[in-house]
Structure formats: structure tokens, C-alpha cells
Structure 1
Amino acid sequence: MLEDKEQKRTSLERLGEFGLIEHLTQNFELNHASSIKGIGDDAAVLDSTEYKTVLTTDLLVEGVHFDLSYMPLKHLGYKAVMVNLSDVYAMNAKATQITVSLAVSNRFPLEALEELYDGIALACKMYNVDLIGGDTTSSQKGMLISVTALGQVNEEQISYRNGARPNDLLVVSGDLGGAYMGLQVLEREKEVYKVNPNSQPDLSPYSYIVERQLKPEARKDIVELLAKLEVKPTSMIDISDGLSSEIMHLSKSSGVGCNLFEDKIPLDPTVISACEEFKMDSTLVALSGGEDYELLFTVKQEDYEKIKGNPNLTVIGYMTEANEGTHLVTRGNHKIPLTAQGWNSFSNSEEE
């Protein structure tokens, strides 16, 4: 959290907009055959292949989606790409290109943006996507990042949100709640730092959940795994807003209900211990926390044999007829209607 006051600061005005883009993107290479022309012209040029193109975009705003008091700029660049790649993978597609647009105030020197683009470059390298364009402009205050991601998929392999049918199994990748609990730890340490700027937090016991917040990984591997297992999800979505609201999105889009089993929700031991420490209910955290960027999808019953026992996947429920509604089946075997609380579920708004 401590800022190095002696670090080099180069004003962005020295480079100008085009000079800045050229400087920040000079080491990005194009690796996909579909990327004909990237940065350096009026527009990028992509080859229209036999694949269908999927496209998604997200806007991240300082003070709303990220806090630079504990979010390193390199991590922010990486995460901004992950947020979008996750949406591409949620269509059962392969991510191929991104564009990055940036608005920053004059409190950011060139060195800060170099850090940000180091994270973007790492994400491009790790996930094999091409940076093909973007824009930079000034902001009156703070930083705004807009990333657009493109991907390719065979038409018959696209997984929409509306394909789930009654009796389909509900499956999730990875584990849930880690990103939200990582945020709680970081926010707590921020408050301690405000009181005592000389304090040095020991985050080692929380390394897993802090990384889930600061450096999430999009689940490209799950899309590849499903292809290898010859399983096509009947519907799919990524978990950005919490498990309950994503289940409700799938249910509403598909015109079905759902029974989710509390005792099947995958939780890392670190999440459980952090919930105990913060006196939070781990099920509620998994249902409403958000930012896990895992994949939630449905498969036909006959595909169960292909996915059972896989450590990356957990069957957490099944879809029902629409008139049965969406429910959480508790450990005590009680059925509770699911509500799409999402990110605001732990705010004190009802007390204000």
C-alpha cells in the first residue's frame, strides 16, 4: 500500500495520444490467423472465417469496480482482460482478440500505465489473445478501463443461456466465495492502514482468497475440458454477480426452475475459515458474493458419466419445471426461494 515517492514520473503530455498508444503497445504481437491488421491504422481488420464471432465488452471505473489503494496496476490490467475473456468462455467459445480503451487523469504518469499494460500483456500471453486496438483519452478524475473481447466458435457449439431443460444437471467449475472474502480482507487492511500507515499487513494466511480478488483466472481450461469430454453445455453463464443471480438468469432465460443443494456448493477451506473470522455465512457468501469468474452451466443427464469425479467440476443441483421455481435446498432439507441479491447483498442499505 505504501507509495514510493521517489519513483520516476513521466507526464503523459510529453507523448501525446498517438505516441502514448504506440509506446504502450509496441511489444504486442499478433498470433491469430484471423488478426489481419491490429494497432496502427484507422481500424483493425479481422478475417471472417468459417467460425461465428462472439463479442463482449465491459467498463471498469475506479472507485466503483476497483480500488487502487490495494489493487496493483499490473493486477488491474490482468483482471480487466479476465473479466471479458470469462464472458467469451461462457459462450463455449475460444477468445482470440481484445481492444483496450483507457481514460486517465493527470495524476497517472507514464510509468503507471506501463504497469497496467504489463498486466494486459501477461493476460494476452497466458490466454493467447491478440491486442488489436483501443483508445486513450483524459479523464477529469480517476481511471476508466473499457475492454472488448472477441472469440470464435462453431455455430453448433455455442452455449446460450436459454438452452437448459427440466432434469438437466446444474454444474459449476472451481469453488465459490473466494473473491468476495478476499475483498473483505483487503478492505479491512485498508482501514487499518488509514489508522496506522506504518502497519504492514500479513496477508499470507489469506493468499488464496486475496489472489481470487486481485488476479482471477478466466476458465479457458473448462471450455477445453468440455470439448475433450465431448460434453456440450445446454446453457452456460459466468459467475460475476454471485451464484444465486446467475442461476436465476439461466432459469429465466431457459424458462425452467432449479433446485440448488446447499451441501453441494464447492467452498475452499480458506473461504470457510475467513467466513468464520468475519462472522459471515459461507453459503450466503457463495450465493451473493460475485467476481468468482467460474463457469456455471447445465448438461443433459446422460452426460453425467463423462463429468462425474472430475476435480474441476461439481454438480450442485438440477433444473425443474418453471412452475416449481428456483430454490435452495438447505442441509436440513428445507426449500428456500432463491433471490438475486448479487453484489449489494452485504451492504447496510436497509439500515440507512
Structure 2
Amino acid sequence: MLENKGRLEVSQMGKEELIKHLGEFFQLSNASSLSGIENDASVLKMGDQLTLTTSTLAIENVHFNLGYFPLKHLGYKTVAAAAADIVGMNGTPSQIRINIGASNRFSVEALEEFTAGVKFCCERYGIDLVGLNITSSNTGLIIGAQMIGTVKEKELVQRKGAAENELICVSGDLGAAYTGLLILNREMQVFAVNPTQQPDLEGYSYIIERQLKPEPRVDVIEDLKKAGILPTSMINVKNGLANALLHLCQQSDCGCTIYEEKLPVDLLTFDTLKELKIVATTIALNGGEDYEVLFTIKQEDYEKIKNLKEISVIGHITAASAGKNLVTNDQKLIELQAQGFQGE
């Protein structure tokens, strides 16, 4: 980082020097990364593997609020969210390109802070930053990212592929990230009324971290491979479980039945939603930004998966004519509908 203790304006350094400066904090570590941000385009050698690419876009006051979102966390989440899409196809994220639109509110030091978060997440998951572009913005901060990953052709898993009677599985727990967002927004509203009052975030660490610092479930993909399980279909849960499951069923031309009692909800998430007078199942189905993995497996793979940590079997695939349904705790059958979290 720069040793200058004062504020250094982006205009003082210039775009090209700033890109070079921020890029100096990164070293390529993957053999497939032949050329990084020093060229107009990155040069990648993938050998006999398939290349996966995805892009994300986050806009200030639409996707994030800097009133409670530290720039370092935003940098981390930018990488994690993009990586989750690669993981959602049974792939391994390997390279990322980032585009930044920043108004004159943001100094070089502020962009360094964002970049520190990017670096932290990249190093944690073995991802190389191979592209970085910065331009001016009249609307605050805009972050675009393109993630590149690889997967062997025989291991590629798409949304299409689920078949009748297969088991529906999901990693981790659901609704925590959205619940964390509700708490952060509540405290922002309190602060707006009384700026002298400190945020009351004690006891909410887990759900707030799930919102500010999500993790792509690379570990789940690794565990499935070790167990000898190749899912028949898979999707990243970023806009709610119901949304993801309906996408999977649509692409696979099938129906589904899931059970409310099987939905994995963390106790803190449940208790916080109860405090807010919100039904936990609603948020488990429709809360966004969980970045968990939803997938289907053949019934014969149940013995392999039943002892894996953080994997829940929540239902099964049915014929398309049977519809997409949730069986409630009181045994009522309700048609699944995505209520439309639009975080991405």
C-alpha cells in the first residue's frame, strides 16, 4: 500500500498508473494464467478442460449500501459471489476480471481497501486477478466482475439433468444472509433517526457475516468428489431456494416435492426472524445471497451422501405433471412460487 498518509485523489495518479498500482499486489499462481492485467486481454491455457465464465454487477444503493458495507468486505463479496456461479456448475474458479466505476467520493485509499478484500478472497480460493479496469461514475460505486473457471467435460453439471425420483439436496443453511440484511437495514433506520445511537449488532455476528462476507461452497464440490458423487443437476442458490429449484425443474422438465421440516435454517436465523415477526420458511425459500449449492443425486447415492457435513436432503424430483410443491409441517401441499429476491 502507499505510504502517503494524506488522501491521494484518483485524478492525481491517473487511470493507467492506478491499475498498475493496484495490480502490483497480485502474483499469478495458476499455471493456466499466462498473462494478467498487463495486457488488453488475459491469456489463459486450459488444456483438456472446459472453460467456465460468469459475470456479476453490483451497484451502490441497489445491491449494497456503504452505510454498513465496509469496502474490504465488498471486495471479498465481489469475488465470492462470482466464484459461486462457477461452483454451481461443479467447476473450480481460477481467474477473475473486475471493472470499477467510481465517483470522486472515492479516494485511492478507498479503492485500495476494496482491492484488499478482493486479494483476501482470491488468495483464499486460489483465484488470480487477470483483469482490472477503472472508470469514472456519476452514481457512486459500480462493480462488475467476470469469473473464469474450469471443469472436466465429464464432470460438468448443469441445471438440466434431474430425473424423476432423484433426491434434492442443498448445502449449508438458508435465509441467514437475507436475515442479516434485515438487521443491518433496521439499524441504519435507527441511526437515521438518532445518529448518536450506536448500532445494536450484538449476538447477530453469524447472520451479518453471511451477508457481508459470503463464501462460495468450493468445499462442497470437493466433498462430493471425494465421496464419488456426481450430481445429475446443480445450481447456485443466489436468489432464494424456490427461485433456484424452479429454474432447475424448468430446465430439467420435471416437478418436485420438498418438505418444510427438512429445510436447513440456522437457529440464530430462526430466532431473529421470530423477533422480526417473519416466518422463517418464507425467508428460507425466498431470501437471497445464500450462495449455497442446490443439486440432485440418484437414489443409490444416498448412502454416500447421508454422512456428509452440511448437506441436507430436502425432497425429491417428480414428474412435471405433479407440479412443484412444498409439504408444510402440518402436511398441507402448497405450490412453490419464487417471490422474487432480485439481488443479482
- With the shorter chain as reference, the TM-score category is over 0.9
Select the residue among 314, 335, 338 that pairs with 2:336: 338
Secondary structure at the counterpart of residue 338 of structure 2 = coil
> Matches of 2:255 and 2:234 in 1, distance apart?
15
Distance 1:186 1:196 in 2: 15
* 2:32 alignment partner in structure 1: 34
Asked whether the 8 Å contact 1:168–1:318 carries over to 2, the reply is yes
For 2:251 and 2:342, the matched residues in 1 are separated by 23
> Whole-Å Cα distance in 1 between the matches of residues 61 and 207 of structure 2?
21
Q: Deviations over 1:84-120 (max 9, x none)?
A: 0000000101111000110000111111000000000
Find the counterpart in structure 2 of residue 96 from structure 1.
94
Deviation readout 1:225-279 (Å, 9 max, x if unpaired): 1110110110000110001111100000000000010000001000111011100
Query: Could you tell me how far apart the structure 1 residues matched to 2:340 and 2:314 are?
Result: 19
- State the partner residue of 1:241: 239
Aligned twin of 1:61: 59
CA contact (8 A) 2:223 2:308 kept: no
2:304 aligned to which of 303, 306, 318: 306
Aligned to 2:157: 159
- Asked if the contact 1:161–1:236 (Cα under 8 Å) also holds between the matched residues in 2, the reply is yes
The residue type paired with residue 72 of structure 1 is P
Aligned counterpart, 1:215: 213
Q: Paired residue for 1:44?
A: 42
Amino acid at match of 1:63: N
Q: How does 1:167-206 map to 2 (within 5 A)?
A: 167-206=165-204
Report the Cα distance in structure 1 between the residues aligned to 2:305 and 2:230, rounded to whole angstroms: 11
Aligned to 2:256: 258
Whether contact under 8 Å (1:244, 1:342) holds in the other structure is no
Aligned partner of 1:325 among 314, 323, 329: 323
Which amino acid is 2:164 matched to? P
SS of residue in 2 equivalent to 1:95: strand
- Amino acid in the other structure paired with 2:217: R
Residue 77 of structure 1 aligns with which residue?
Answer: 75
Letter in 1 for 2:128: D
Q: Output the CA distance in 1 between the equivalents of 2:61 and 2:209.
A: 19
User: 1:42 & 1:187 partners in 2: Cα distance?
Assistant: 40
Distance in structure 2 (CA, Å) of the matches to 1:45 and 1:201: 46
C-alpha contact 1:88 1:151 (8 A) present in aligned 2:
yes
User: Which AA in structure 2 matches 1:113?
Assistant: L
Residue 312 of structure 1: how far off its partner (Å) = 1.3
3-state SS, counterpart of residue 115 of structure 2:
helix
- Give 1:309 deviation, angstroms: 2.7
Conserved 8 A contact 2:187-2:200 = no
Indicate the percent of aligned positions where both proteins have the same amino acid: 47
SS at match of 2:28: coil
Q: CA RMSD in A?
A: 1.2
Unaligned runs of 5+ in 2: none
Q: State the 1:344 CA deviation.
A: 6.4
CA contact (8 A) 1:169 1:299 kept: yes
Q: Secondary structure at the match of 1:342?
A: coil
Q: Does structure 2 retain, via aligned residues, the 8 Å contact 1:84–1:149?
A: yes
Q: 1:270-312 deviations in whole A, cap 9, x for unaligned?
A: 0111011100000001001111000000000000000003221
- The amino acid of 1:244's aligned partner reads A
Are the equivalent residues in 2 in contact too, given 1:177–1:292 (CA < 8 A)?
A: yes
Who is 1:111 aligned against?
109
> TM-score, normalising length from structure 2?
0.97
For 2:284, the aligned partner's letter is A
When normalised by structure 1's length, the TM-score is 0.95
Which one-letter code corresponds to 1:248 in the other structure?
Answer: L
Superposition pairs of residues 122-137 of structure 1, within 5 angstroms: 122-137=120-135
Corresponding position: 1:10 with 2:3 = no
User: How many angstroms apart in 2 are the aligned matches of 1:338 and 1:17?
Assistant: 48
Conservation of the 8 A alpha-carbon contact between 1:237 and 1:295: yes
Cα distance, 1:202 vs structure 2: 3.1
Which of 279, 287, 290 lines up with 2:285 in the alignment?
287
Q: Which amino acid aligns with 2:35?
A: K
Rounded Cα–Cα distance in structure 2 between residues aligned with 1:230 and 1:94: 17
Contact 2:288 2:342 survives alignment (8 Å)? no
1:276 aligns to 2:274 (yes or no): yes
SS at match of 1:111: helix
Task: Tell me how far 1:341 sits from its aligned partner.
Answer: 1.0
Question: How many residue pairs are counted as aligned between the two chains?
Answer: 339
Say whether the 8 Å CA contact 1:100–1:145 is kept in structure 2.
yes
Is the Cα–Cα contact under 8 Å of residues 176 and 211 in structure 2 kept in the other structure?
Answer: yes
TM superposition outliers: structure 1 runs of 4+ over 6 Å? none
For the Cα contact (< 8 Å) 1:8–1:111, is it kept in 2? Answer: no
